[in-house]
A = this chain, B = another copy of it.
Amino acid sequence: MFRIGVDIGGTNIAAGIVDESYRIVEKKSIKTKDAKTPSEMIGAIAELVKDLMGTAQVKPEMVTAIGVGVPGTLDPESGKVLYANNLGFEDVPFLSELKKALGDILADKIYFDNDANAAAIGEYITGDYHAKNFVMMTIGTGIGGGVIINGRVLRGCNYAAAEFGHMTINFDGVDCNCGRKGCFEDYASAEGLMNLAWEAISSPEGKKSMLSSRVSSREELDGEIFFEAVRSGDKVAAQVLEQYLFYLSEGIINIINIFQPDVLTLSGGITKAADLYLDRLKELVAKGIYSRNSSKNTEIMLSKGISDSGDIGIIGAALIYKM
């Protein structure tokens, strides 16, 4: 038997057929922007799924479930996408339209979830964590999250739970695009780190740094250049990293004080350089958590890798029906 996962991203809609060993046996994608309306997009997703099934010669009766990861808030009862900013969706009867487009034989096998939840499901199942309480934190342009408790994903009343990025850690801090101030992701996302680094190398002292000599504009600065500077012993870069780790630890400590998960995994591009900072991060977290006198505490680790390939979104979507 097979499951089909569809991951709706800002750039691509990727879909894959996933086997019993959680491997993708066939994968295809289309451009998100080719669809002008929600209905067009739903139609295109149905075509993509049928196309995949045709190529892989998977018949409807060989499909256990079809799952779609949507970047938005959903209503499980009505099957509507209530709001998806990046897709321009508002109050779209997503599930009913997709069921219609895929036809009666597949209609009963269709599931959806928030994309971050789907990724967490994929990581949890394929990573074989055996944790009763599991938190995944994804650090990219923003900070997203997924939580699994007692084997079930935490969806909340609108499938929008685990928005860790929009937890304020500094209520009179920088303006956040969510309308509040000082949100966790403003400081601790990859973007936050780059902002911090740019600020540092724009100072008189920073201008003398190796990092500064490598870049001439904010746009040129990226994680690779930054971590290379840290690796080469650049002091300004090291100071920036230490400040960044303080911010990152503040958010992680909050999340641990709230969930006390068995495991908290970190994923996202920034974790590629984790050898430079994971121990220090763990030290900062251990010092700050409220349960620091407890003999049992959250294990912080890197997610087990397939996250970075983007496939975890497809695999997770294919496994939504399980959780």
A257 within 8 A of B: yes
Q: Which residues of B are found within 8 Å of A271, using beta-carbon distances? A: none
Given the interface contacts A178-B290, A179-B288, A254-B167, does A160 sit within 8 Å of B91 by beta carbon?
no
A180 and B291 contact, CB distance less than 8 A? no
The reply to whether A258 and B260 form a contact with Cβ atoms under 8 Å apart is no
Q: A91 — which chain B residues lie within 8 A by C-beta?
A: 295
A166 contacts chain B at the CB level, 8 A cutoff: yes
Tell me whether A262 and B157 are in contact (CB under 8 A): yes
Instruction: Please tell me how many copies of the chain the complex holds.
Output: 2
Task: Find out whether the CB atom of A161 lies under 8 angstroms from the CB atom of B294.
Answer: no
- A83: interface (CB < 8 Å): yes
* Contact in complex: A296, B82 (CB < 8 Å): yes
Q: Mark A87-130, 1 if CB is under 8 A from B, else 0.
A: 00011000000000000000000000000000000000000000
Interface of A is mostly: loop
Q: A288 — nearest CB in chain B belongs to which residue?
A: B180
A-B contact pairs, 5 of them (CB 8 A): A82-B296, A133-B161, A161-B259, A169-B169, A170-B182
Q: Which of A147-155, A213-221, A306-314 contacts B (4 or more CB under 8 A)?
A: A147-155
Residues of B within 8 A of A83 (CB): 291, 293-294
* Interchain nearest-CB distance for A51 vs B (Å): 32
Cβ of A2 under 8 Å from chain B: no
Which residues of chain B are within 8 angstroms of A297 by Cβ–Cβ distance?
157-158
Q: Identify the closest chain B residue to A80 (Cβ).
A: B295
A75 in the interface (beta carbon within 8 A):
yes
Contact of A157 among B152, B156, B163, B298 (CB under 8 A): B298
Q: Which residues of B contact A295 (CB under 8 A)?
A: 75, 82, 91
Q: Mark A298-323, 1 if CB is under 8 A from B, else 0.
A: 10000000000000000000000000
With A132-B157, A156-B133 in contact, is A168–B169 under 8 Å at CB? yes
Measured in the bound complex, the distance between the Cα atoms of B293 and A83 in whole Å is 7
User: Given contacts A178-B290, A288-B180, A291-B73, is CB(A257)–CB(B171) below 8 Å?
Assistant: no
Contacts of A261 in B (CB 8 A): 156-157
Please indicate the chain B residues that have their CB under 8 angstroms from the CB of A75 in the complex.
294-296
Determine the chain B residues whose CB is within 8 A of the CB of A168 once the complex forms: 169, 250, 253-254
A66 on the interface (CB 8 Å rule)? no
